[in-house]
Amino acid sequence: MQVAPARADFAEWPALLDLLRRSFAYMEGRVDPPSSLGRMDAECLRGLAAAGDLVLSRDGSQVVGCAFCTPKPTALYIGKVATDAAHRRRGIARALMAAADDIARGRGLPALELQVRIELHEVQAAYDAMGFMQVGTASHPGYDRPTSLILRRSLSTP
């Protein structure tokens, strides 16, 4: 398994969109509001990647995991983290977070931050196991209740 930032000439946007849609499909009917991924296309993903760094996990030439890393003033925001179902429980998410640590460190940022939907307790537990701690909540526009937990962790020691 290889984990590294995407090369500048990365062009597998439709395949990446397919990976994300397959990986996020389990959320359908579980999260409210629905994931923004349903409104995205390959060009949207290209725009997300252009705002920061796209980290990929590959098994040979196949992309089996990803994380979009966007610099914010006090942390590197990690979004759209996905691992192909056939490759789960192999440490890919941890490797993606380690690569994000390196990116944050290179940008002089002290922490990683991400959001997890309130309903996804198993995802929260996975990030807890990686050292993330809840630091707040967030609400999607139009909602008067929290819809996501904000999780953060300080950078791991290199």
Q: What is the pTM of this model?
A: 0.93
The partner residues of 148 in beta bridges, in order of sequence, read 117, 138
E strand or H helix at 104: helix 92-106
Q: Number of helices and strands (H, E) in the chain?
A: 4, 7
- Whole-number Å distance between alpha carbons of 1 and 32: 34
- Whole-number Å distance between alpha carbons of 132 and 5: 22
The torsion angles phi and psi of 138, rounded to 5 degrees, stand at -140, 155
Over residues 11-56, the pLDDT tens digits come to 999 999 999 999 999 999 999 999 988 889 999 999 989 999 999 9
